[in-house]
Structure 1
Amino acid sequence: MPSLRALTALAVLVSTALLAPPAQAATTAETSAATTYRGEGDQVLRIRATTKPGIMKITHDGEGYFSVWTLKSNGKENDLLVSAGELYKGTVAYNTSASGSTAALKISADGVWTVQLLPFSKARSWSITTRGSGDDVLRLAKTSVGLRTLRIRHTGEGYFSVWAVNANGRLHDLLVSETDAYSGSVPLPAGTRYAVVKASGPWSIVRR
């Protein structure tokens, strides 16, 4: 027959197991809550402070000006990720420079918005011919080597730029920086893994 001491120890173990939350469930809930944010109007959205580069998929359904700034831990503005009128839907990169550090997002909006934080590895696959409209981030299957070129077109009426980004998510080379429509060929720098496109209209990139 078990001793009183043994029975007491068993009771303590059982009660501890029943009261403790499942570790896996807690981790899953925390990750899910920190990935996608939804809101309406102006807001300062606090996130887990990080210097790691990543991407954000952002939407806005409103009739007025919409912007998203990253804020450092001291509250200072760091990078202007989005500056658009009315409706917006696009993918942008953050923490891509050596000074990149994000502790919050300052959102100016008059409608509902969503922000989804993702790693660079979740960027859209960069095929031989890639087309899009507006802001986007593209991902090569492998880091570029040797001499390659890009044939780039943009038919929008606002600012247009294309940045090459290395495998660590850091800005590598500014390939295009123009206002309004653009058409031309540029070298694809060796060491490129991603491309960050800022656009106000339709664009296409053909790798050669």
Structure 2
Amino acid sequence: MRLRILVAFAALFGTFLIATPAEAAATYRGDSDHVQRIRATTTPGIAKITHTGDGYFSVWGLDRSGKQQQLLANRVGAYKGTAVYNAGTGNGLAALKIGADGPWTIQLLPLSKARSWSATTSGGTDDVLRLSRPSRGFHTLRIRHTGDGYFSVWALDGRGRRSNLLANKVGAYKGSVSLPAGTQYAVIGSDGPWSIVRR
């Protein structure tokens, strides 16, 4: 009997260890406006988001007091993209506030699950890129964007915290910028095709 109790306790304790906010994956679904409580966390991570409605769609991250802190998605019509949460200063993420007129999904994942950042990387929407380790030495990025809306590229350090705003433009963009040493992630905000060449 005592052995069974110990085994059960070990299994339960192991579950708590595995299900930490920084490591666990969670998927939420719906088809209309919704507020989804989650296990509160201040650890940076990514949110993979889809929406197939025709109207306005938004996802806000709420803190423990219910205040809107992080805008994760903001689009009219169908949407598929990846956003980062808890990358800046703030009170962390405790809930998701979704505004939608059609089916949506949100998958929360560790930052380590972001898309691998190759020498030449392209996309067509919001995304998060990951280097295998923080950058060292002097590197540059050649960045292009051909969308009509707001476009931005943020550099994040190895802890997943925002360090530098590398691009910030409405409409088409073409430029070359330096990559800050210590960068491990890039967060792209985009409504159209983009490419980044790392040298």
Q: For 1:179, which of 170, 174, 193 is the aligned residue? A: 170
Residue of structure 2 in register with 1:160 after alignment? 151
Answer 1 or 2: which has greater helix percent. 1
Residue of structure 1 in register with 2:41 after alignment? 50
CA distance in structure 1 between the partners assigned to 2:196 and 2:48 by the alignment: 20
TM-score between the two structures when normalised by the length of structure 2: 0.90
Counterparts of 1:56-135 in structure 2, within 5 Å, are 56-135=47-126
Stretches of structure 1 that go unaligned for 5 or more consecutive residues are 1-11
- Tell me if the contact between 2:64 and 2:91 (Cα under 8 Å) persists in the aligned partners: no
Residue of structure 2 in register with 1:6 after alignment? none
Shift of 1:168: 0.3
- Tell me if the contact between 1:34 and 1:47 (Cα under 8 Å) persists in the aligned partners: no
CA distance in structure 2 between the partners assigned to 1:119 and 1:17 by the alignment: 30
Shift of 1:133: 0.7
Q: How many residues align?
A: 197
The secondary structure found in structure 1 opposite 2:183 is: coil
CA distance in structure 2 between the partners assigned to 1:122 and 1:19 by the alignment: 31
Shift of 1:39: 1.0
- Radius of gyration: which is bigger? 1
Provide, for residues 8-29 of structure 1, a one-character-per-residue CA deviation record: whole Å limited to 9, x for no partner.
xxxx558868998954896699
Summarize the Cα distance change of 1:101–1:26 in structure 2 as closer, same or farther, 3 Å threshold: closer
CA distance in structure 2 between the partners assigned to 1:29 and 1:188 by the alignment: 34
CA distance in structure 2 between the partners assigned to 1:18 and 1:151 by the alignment: 55
- Tell me if the contact between 1:94 and 1:100 (Cα under 8 Å) persists in the aligned partners: no
Shift of 1:79: 1.2
Provide, for residues 135-178 of structure 1, a one-character-per-residue CA deviation record: whole Å limited to 9, x for no partner.
00000122111111000000101000000000001001000000
CA distance in structure 2 between the partners assigned to 1:80 and 1:19 by the alignment: 41
Letter in 2 for 1:203: W
Runs of 4+ in 1 over 2 A off after TM superposition: 12-31
CA distance in structure 1 between the partners assigned to 2:54 and 2:41 by the alignment: 32
Q: CA-atom RMSD, angstroms?
A: 2.5
Letter in 2 for 1:195: A
Summarize the Cα distance change of 1:101–1:18 in structure 2 as closer, same or farther, 3 Å threshold: closer
Summarize the Cα distance change of 1:152–1:16 in structure 2 as closer, same or farther, 3 Å threshold: closer
- Tell me if the contact between 2:25 and 2:110 (Cα under 8 Å) persists in the aligned partners: no
TM-score between the two structures when normalised by the length of structure 1: 0.86
Summarize the Cα distance change of 1:83–1:126 in structure 2 as closer, same or farther, 3 Å threshold: same
- Tell me if the contact between 1:54 and 1:94 (Cα under 8 Å) persists in the aligned partners: yes
Quick one: percent identity of the two aligned structures? Answer: 57
Summarize the Cα distance change of 1:27–1:179 in structure 2 as closer, same or farther, 3 Å threshold: same
